[in-house]
Amino acid sequence: MLPADLHVHTEWSWDGYRGDMERSCEVALEVGLPAIAFTDHAEWNTVHEGQHSVDIAGYHECIERCRAKFKNLRILSGVEFGEPHWFPEEAAKVRAAGPLDRVLGSIHCIRLGGEPVDASQFRKRPEADHGPAIHEYLAETLRMVESDQQFQILAHLDYFKRYWPASLPPYRPEDYEERFRAILTAAQKRGTVLEINTTRGEDGGRRMCPDLTVLKWWHEVGGEAVSFGSDAHEPDKIAARFDLAQEMVEAAGFKPAPDPVAFWRR
């Protein structure tokens, strides 16, 4: 049986133009998912056109409508917090608005020259800035993990690799091993779950966020648990490449959970 897809966006995300919570529930049942978590964007940087945070009241109503309609599917509520440690008051309001079953912590933006810059924009900057930006991205991730912000799952740890410039030597996590190990050690200490994000997971799994190399480090530092997330922004991408991801997670030493909603554990 497939593991639950614990990272899915819907029309309640600012970039969910093709998102559709109801249709996502139908697809989840069609592909045999036991459970799905809708984790819409709760974030307050505005680096993209039209970027805004989830309308959390409307989102919760939609969750309840879907739960009433799709009784054979376990529907988990959630959000994907972007840089929550920069916005503690806003994040607290979202948490107070209703129960959240799965909460993701993500870094999309870092501060460069005082301005927030999304990692998808790094490639537009001079090549010489790229290495320092990656180091800052990982330093920011560590700051979030070491903050008092409540989140359960550390999402797409090396998000920046989706946007790696073709003009640079290929990305190797080994080049940032020390920073990754610091993040993973801090995440292990606070009992965080590491997400395998399968967006762009083609190419034998090397483009999974993170890939097998980092996942093995997670096991080495004593990381307890792993979750699976497609980061789908449209129904047809739900659970994409979960077959490949499951093989990778098992190869790193983690075992399937008896309860499909539970995390895979060491």
Q: Give the residue with the Cβ less far from Zn ion, 198 or 246.
A: 198
Q: In whole angstroms, how far apart are CA 138 and each of 8, 113, 153, 216?
A: 24, 17, 16, 18
Kindly indicate which of the ranges 74-82, 88-96, 133-141, 236-244 contains the residues binding Zn ion, using the contact rule CB under 5 A: 74-82
Q: Shortest Cβ distance from residue 38 to Zn ion (Å)?
A: 11
Q: Give residue 242's identity as a one-letter amino acid code.
A: F
Kindly indicate which of the ranges 71-79, 129-137, 164-172, 229-237 contains the residues binding Zn ion, using the contact rule CB under 5 A: 229-237
CB 157 within 8 A of CB 107: no
User: Is residue 45 near Zn ion by the rule CB under 5 A?
Assistant: no
Whole-angstrom distance, CA of residue 239 vs CA of residue 66: 19
Token readout for 1 is 């049986």
Q: Give the residue with the Cβ less far from Zn ion, 106 or 141.
A: 106
HSE of 128, CA atoms in CB hemisphere, 13 A:
0
Task: Give CA 123 to chain center in angstroms.
Answer: 21
CB 104 within 8 A of CB 7: yes
Kindly indicate which of the ranges 78-86, 203-211, 240-248, 251-259 contains the residues binding Zn ion, using the contact rule CB under 5 A: 78-86
Q: Give the residue with the Cβ less far from Zn ion, 180 or 219.
A: 180
Whole-angstrom distance, CA of residue 50 vs CA of residue 157: 25
Find the binding residues for Zn ion in span 89-118 (CB under 5 A). 106
Q: Among residues 5, 118, 158, 231, which is the contact residue for Zn ion, using CB under 5 A?
A: 231
Q: Shortest Cβ distance from residue 66 to Zn ion (Å)?
A: 19
Q: Among residues 11, 43, 80, 158, which is the contact residue for Zn ion, using CB under 5 A?
A: 80
Number of H helices, E strands in the chain: 7, 10
Kindly indicate which of the ranges 80-88, 146-154, 166-174, 213-221 contains the residues binding Zn ion, using the contact rule CB under 5 A: 80-88
Q: Shortest Cβ distance from residue 169 to Zn ion (Å)?
A: 25
Q: Give the residue with the Cβ less far from Zn ion, 39 or 188.
A: 39
Q: Give the residue with the Cβ less far from Zn ion, 21 or 219.
A: 21
Segments in 2-87 forming alpha helices (H): 21-31, 56-69
Whole-angstrom distance, CA of residue 86 vs CA of residue 111: 11
Give me the residues that bind Zn ion (CB under 5 A), please: 80, 106, 231
